[in-house]
């Protein structure tokens, strides 16, 4: 029996709840991957709650952890790198050195966790670092609408503007890679009331998946979507199928979260959907 592929995931860690690595690690493991999770934060819970304790990971500690897993051969054999919330400029610099230390065939999914709803979560220097250093090495980029505009230098309020921004970012990504840009939680002038769009741009054009909008704020949903989309691609699914399965699984988790009234993603309760999500209509190709 062969060993399952390994994903190196570098993002936030919380003791309770399911954001960052606390969402991505479990989801990828349910899809059959080994996960080497490196923390950019050490927090009691995500800062969206009234209180939290902890701090960003000390850069010296993060660098030592990287060297330690490298000595175990993880960097040399990992099938993919997933980066998310990087917390500080120093930790971002450490994370963004990783693609150069990994095998050339490893996919790099850069989830640009920068902000949402017009508000930055991080220092502007981190956004600049991602634009300058992560994009040219990235194979998969799953921004939300705010992050799409921030990285592209636009305000994509229409579907044509979002498509143009996604294409512009794709052109700056790693030559020879899939150059996939997945825009989540997209609401434009063309989005019907009560719905939201997911736009997937790739070398073959643009795909749109329109889904009912669930009321509420679900911290960690974007982290979960990025991990599941990456996992399905690594499993060999074509991008449209990977998108449909990832979105179907996330919707099940969000529905379970609402049903239980939980203030964190009901990831464990809905874990069956991670590996066996309901079938969704295929995304349709835009002209």
**Stretch 147-167: mean pLDDT:** 97
Distance CA 239, CA 113 (A): 21
**Stretch 98-102: mean pLDDT:** 97
Q: Does 6-285 carry CATH code 3.40.1190.20?
A: yes
Distance CA 261, CA 266 (A): 9
**Stretch 254-271: mean pLDDT:** 94
Could you tell me the CA-to-CA distances from 267 to 25, 146, 215, 230 in Å, in that order?
A: 11, 25, 18, 18
Reported confidence tier of residue 216, pLDDT bands at 50, 70, 90 = confident
Reported confidence tier of residue 1, pLDDT bands at 50, 70, 90 = low
Nearest Cα to 39, choosing from 94, 105, 110, 102? 94
How do the domains of the chain map onto residue ranges? Answer: 6-285
pLDDT digits 0-9 by tens, 162-212: 999 999 999 999 999 999 999 999 999 999 999 999 999 999 999 999 999
Nearest Cα to 16, choosing from 42, 45, 39? 45
Question: Does residue 262 have a pLDDT over 90?
Answer: no
Which residues are bridge partners to 224 per DSSP?
none
Question: Does residue 126 have a pLDDT over 80?
Answer: yes
Reported confidence tier of residue 215, pLDDT bands at 50, 70, 90 = confident
**Predicted structure pTM score:** 0.97
């Amino acid at each position: 029996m062969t060993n399952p592929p390994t994903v190196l995931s570098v993002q936030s860690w919380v003791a309770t709840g399911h954001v960052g690595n606390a969402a991505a690690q479990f989801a990828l493991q349910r899809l059959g991957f080994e996960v080497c999770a490196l923390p950019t934060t050490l927090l009691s819970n995500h800062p969206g709650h009234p209180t939290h304790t902890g701090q960003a990971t000390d850069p010296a500690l993060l660098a030592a952890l990287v060297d330690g897993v490298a000595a175990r051969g993880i960097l040399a054999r990992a099938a993919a790198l997933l980066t998310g919330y990087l917390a500080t400029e120093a930790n971002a610099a450490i994370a963004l050195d990783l693609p150069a230390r990994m095998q050339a065939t490893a996919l790099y999914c850069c989830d640009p966790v920068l902000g949402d709803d017009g508000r930055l979560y991080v220092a502007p220097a981190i956004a600049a670092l991602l634009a300058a250093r992560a994009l040219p090495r990235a194979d998969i980029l799953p921004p939300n609408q705010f992050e799409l505009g921030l990285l592209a230098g636009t305000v994509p309020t229409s579907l044509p503007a979002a498509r143009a921004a996604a294409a512009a970012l794709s052109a700056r990504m790693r030559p020879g890679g899939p150059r996939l840009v997945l825009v989540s939680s997209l609401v434009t002038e063309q989005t019907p009331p009560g719905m939201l769009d997911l736009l997937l741009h790739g070398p073959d054009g643009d795909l749109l998946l329109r889904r009912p909008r669930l009321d509420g704020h679900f911290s960690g949903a974007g982290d979960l979507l990025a991990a599941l989309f990456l996992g399905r691609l690594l499993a060999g699914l074509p991008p449209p199928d990977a998108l449909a399965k990832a979105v179907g699984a996330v919707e099940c988790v969000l529905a379970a979260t609402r049903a239980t009234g939980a203030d964190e993603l009901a990831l464990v309760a809905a874990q069956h959907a991670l590996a066996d999500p309901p079938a969704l209509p295929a995304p349709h190709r835009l002209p």
